[in-house]
Chain A
Amino acid sequence: MAPDQNETADERTGARIVRLTPPAGLHYHQYCYGQWIAPDCRTLLVFRYRELRRDSPIDLYRVNTDGTGYELVAENAGWSTISVDGKFVFAGTAGGILRIPLSGGRSDTVFRSDSYRGMSANAQTRDGQFLFCHAFGERGHELVRVQLDTGNANVLFQTDYLMHLHLHDEGRGRLLATVRPPGLEWGIYTFDLDGKDFRKLPFTRSTNHFASLGCTGKVITTVHSGGNAIEIGTPGDAFAEVLVEGEGFWHPTADSTGEWVACDTNWPDTGLMLVHVPTRRFRVLCFTGTSGGHPQWAHAHPRMSPDASYVVFDSDKSGITQTYAVFVPPEFKAELRG
């Protein structure tokens, strides 16, 4: 472990927590878009303010889940995605999408356009053929599909609202986003890789914080109005169902199988919860110490590793937001499985 990393045990649960980022910079992990972690579950992407100033450029770094290997990937990068083979990072920039070796090195441009104020690289299909990007500018928001072997790009639809675009059901052919699709009402939808066949999630009280429930095809969201809960919905269904309730669940995340969910809490913060979906039991995994205030850098934004072995989160408990990984003790899983 490098000298500036630190490892602690949560004071109340004993779970092992590793701070992944150097403490002098403001960091946050790639909490809501893209393929944020390499296929081996060992390397992930984090952002860093280049300087502690509000108008600082923001750079993209990679780091290993043991806190080693912290290296610059790209300067001035937006939301990005790691390629399915784990070799590259597709990084969004104002002028297009760059492809950069995850191990560092020269970048090349896979898509260039001067007509957008910004772009993010949100999802790559499992066959590696297509990259789906969220572009925004004077025309509003556009879903752009880039064919990676040719560089050809198509605008699949335009809209006045598109957020949280990411690959659904572990890449089995659909995308997930909050969107106002052409001719349809605003909501959380899944849609196919041609930007068609919109299927709305039956969420009536969502916080707009949601995630795919692994490969199940279902989606989870947190809800606050009418009680605090995590709900599960199936695209196109009429109703959602309550998975668990009782805590101020805030930002949910799931593993690749859909068996495990992690979720931070607020109002009050009662800890980062580990939820076992089949039994609907949950317990505190750790306390993030984040202040839970208005700025995004005050939110924990947990993301669970595909193999459910750890959860990455942000915390401003040191005064400067850092990215941490908490490792799920096997006995916690055994307890919840019952």
Chain B
Amino acid sequence: MGCERVARTDPETGVKILQLTSFPITHWHLGLGDFITPDGERLLIAANRFAGRNSPRDLYSIRANGDDFHFLLHDFSGGVICPRGQWVHTGCAGAVVRIPIEGGNAEVLWNPGCYTHIMVSARSSDGLWLFGQGRRKADGCFDIVRISTETGESSVIIRASYVMPVLRGSANGERLVASIAPVGDDGKPLMPWGVWDFSSEGEGSDFRLVPFSRSTNHYCPMGSSGLVVTTATHPGNALDVAAPGGSERVLAHGAGFWHVSSDETGTWLASDTNWPDVGLQIVNSKTGNYATLCMTGASGGHPQWTHAHPVISPDARWVLFTSDRTGFQHVYLADIPPEFKKVLSAP
């Protein structure tokens, strides 16, 4: 397929936007995990195979400039790119596999046989460990697991009856963050549901609750800062930030912040808005200043495919988002102009 990009300019802000996909089926990016290369040059996106509610989902690789859009794997679950960019690790048919990023045969790294599927969403910064969640065939609960990319060695960090994708909570991957409801082997609650920060080392690992009092359950680790940020809508509209095991504070308020993401340093955040949609906001976490980068055109309805789900690149050069503005959800990439950052950095 090669390239499907369409260049646009936001009519209000003048920001350049690349529509990365345009074939009329549903596309999306992989959320907040490690699916972008550290240099921000390449990423993973997903697509329904055909237009239908029952469509299987396929994994693709694409360059941030829209070039080299190619198929990787049918029927995948999650995906991360290794630090040097040559491999993609993803879940497939209850196993974890790896595929060359340029495409090719999938090689099974780990197949424990006890999961219906395993979603791979994060890795350690050195690429030696993968983190994900496997849905247990036995009881439908989820095991948060870590897997060695060298040996396939694995361990269960925690079991949960509810889990959002596991994210890297610290730059080196020693800490993880996830919204989970931990349970014991008997399926009974171990700890209350919440956004938890925990060690990636293994079982029973130093759980610290992130003390959000009004989180939308849309949150992300703030890069290397050790903090976690969430959007908050009840009461008020804000971005709240908190240290695991510490206290929370308001980072910015006034817009209907909805889904938030952070760059690698924790300085720059991107958040879409809703009720009303006042555009995709770029936030400087040091100053609390924010401004509209562009309008996404996402309809902001109930289905996930109508949400913009912005993800800022590790180096804060661009923001990835999805939009159903054409009638089909496609993946878009908006550049962040340097002068835009300069204004928001001013006290």
Contact = CB atoms under 8 A, between A and B. Distances in A.
Nearest to A51: B50
B19 interface: yes
A318 B22 contact: no
Nearest to A293: B6
B23 interface: yes
Nearest to A56: B50
Nearest to B67: A294
B66 A53 contact: no
Interface in B1-46: 1, 3-8, 19, 22-25
For B4, B5, B22, B66, which residue has the most chain A Cβ atoms within 10 angstroms? B22
Interface residues of B, number: 19
Given A51-B50, A52-B50, A318-B327, A294 B23 contact: no
Interface in A289-328: 291-295, 297-298, 316, 318-321
Interface string A81-110: 000000000000000000000000000000
A268 to B, nearest CB: 9
A295 B20 CA distance: 11
Contacts of A316: 22, 24, 326
A254 to B, nearest CB: 28
A52 B48 CA distance: 10
A54 interface: yes
Nearest to B325: A319
A26 interface: yes
A55 B311 CA distance: 29
B327 A294 contact: no
B51 A291 contact: no
A53 B49 contact: yes
A293 B24 contact: no
B328 interface: yes
B177 to A, nearest CB: 36
Given A53-B50, A53-B51, A319 B24 contact: yes
Interface string A32-61: 000000000000000000011110100000
Contact of A291 (B19, B23, B25, B328): B19
Nearest to B50: A53
Interface in A254-294: 291-294
Contacts of B326: 316, 318-319
B24 A320 contact: yes
B10 to A, nearest CB: 15
Nearest to B18: A293
Contacts of B66: 294
Contacts of B25: 52-54
Contacts of B8: 291
Contact of A320 (B5, B7, B327): B327
Contact of A293 (B1, B22, B49, B327): B22
B24 A294 contact: no
Contact of A319 (B1, B3, B50, B327): B327
A216 to B, nearest CB: 36
B51 A293 contact: no
Contacts of A295: 3-4, 6, 22-23
Given A298-B22, A319-B327, A293 B5 contact: yes
A52 B24 contact: yes
B216 to A, nearest CB: 29
A54 B1 contact: yes
Contacts of A52: 23-25, 50-51
A297 B22 contact: yes
Contacts of A26: 24
Nearest to A321: B24
A319 B49 contact: no
Contacts of B3: 294-295
A51 B51 contact: yes
Q: B7, B8, B24, B328: which has the most chain A beta carbons within 10 Å?
A: B24
B50 A293 contact: no
B326 to A, nearest CB: 4
A316 B22 CA distance: 9
B6 A298 contact: yes
A291 B22 CA distance: 10
Contacts of B22: 291, 293, 295, 297-298, 316
A19 to B, nearest CB: 15
Contacts of B7: 293
A57 to B, nearest CB: 12
A291 B24 contact: no
A266 to B, nearest CB: 10
A293 B328 contact: no
15 contacts: A26-B24, A51-B50, A52-B23, A52-B25, A54-B1, A291-B22, A293-B22, A294-B4, A294-B5, A294-B6, A294-B66, A316-B24, A316-B326, A319-B327, A319-B328
Interface of B: 1, 3-8, 19, 22-25, 49-51, 66, 326-328
Pairs A-B, 10 closest by C-beta atoms: A293-B6, A319-B327, A52-B51, A319-B326, A53-B50, A320-B24, A291-B6, A294-B3, A294-B5, A295-B4
Interface of A: 26, 51-54, 56, 291-295, 297-298, 316, 318-321
Given A26-B24, A52-B23, A316-B24, 6 more contacts: A52-B24, A54-B25, A291-B6, A293-B6, A293-B22, A318-B326
